[in-house]
């Protein structure tokens, strides 16, 4: 197998990938929460008792970040096996 890069560069690329995974997932979750948040504020203005449920609904898209984070963790900790395949 061709050596694409040395171990340090590869590790750097993995770190960038991990960062993108969490970061982009965060943006996605933010976009999702934007609509929910606006709607919840609207409902709470009418009916303050909805605050608890509203806060909870706000949290639903946050699972996306967790998925991104899971991918990041896998990337970061899968470093050793990857290095084993790629380094000469």
Partner 1 sequence: MLRPVNMSRVVVAGSKDVISPVVEKLHELRLLHIVNYNGNQPGFEIGKSIGKSKEYSEDLIKLRSITRYLDLKNKAPDKTFPESQILSEMDNLLNNVGADVIATYERITAIEAEVKSKQDTIRSLNPLAVLPLPLESYHGYDSLATFVGTVTSPVDADVARVSPAHEIYTGSAKNATQVAVFVPAEKASEVSAVLSEHGFSETSVPKLEGNVASAIAAQESSIKSLEAEKAPLLKKLADIKKQNEDLMLATDEYLSMQTQKTEAPLRFAVTENAFIIDGYVPSDQFSRLKNELESTTGGKLEVSLIADKEAEELVEKGEDIPSQMDNPSVVKPYELITRLFAIPEYKEFDPSLLIFVFFPIMFGMILGDVGYGIMILLILLGLKKKFRTPGWQQLINVVMIGGVWAVIFGIFYGEIFGPLGLWNYAIGMLTHHEMAALQEAGLFFGEGVFGSLGRLGPLGVFPLYRLATNAVLLLIGVSLFIGVVHCSVGSICGIKTELNYGEKKHAYFERLPVMLFQVFFSIALLGLVMGQSILTYLGIIVVVLSVVMLVMGPEGPMGLAHVPSYISNLISYLRLLAIGLASVGLAYAANQLAFYVIMPMLSGGAHNSAEFSMLAIIVGIVILVAVHFINLLLGILSPFMHPLRLHYVEMFTKFYSAHGGGVEYSPFGHVRRFLKA
Binding footprint of partner 1 on the chain (CB under 8 A): 52-53, 55-56, 59-60, 62-63, 65-67, 69-70, 73, 77
Complex with partner 1: residue 10 or 62, whichever CB lies closer:
62
Q: At what angle do helices 79-86 and 63-77 cross, to 10 degrees?
A: 50
Q: Cβ contacts of residue 86 below 8 Å, gap of 6+?
A: 1, 3, 4, 5, 7, 10
Considering the complex, what minimum distance in angstroms separates the CB of residue 2 from partner 1?
Answer: 28
Considering the complex, what minimum distance in angstroms separates the CB of residue 65 from partner 1?
Answer: 8
């Amino acid at each position: 197998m061709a050596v694409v890069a040395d171990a340090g560069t590869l590790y750097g690329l993995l770190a960038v990938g991990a960062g993108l995974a969490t970061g982009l997932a965060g943006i996605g979750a933010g976009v999702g929460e934007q609509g929910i948040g606006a709607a919840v504020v609207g409902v709470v203005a009418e009916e303050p008792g909805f605050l608890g449920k509203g806060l909870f609904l706000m949290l639903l898209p946050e699972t996306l970040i967790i998925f991104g984070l899971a991918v990041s963790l896998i990337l970061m900790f899968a470093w050793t096996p990857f290095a084993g395949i790629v380094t000469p």
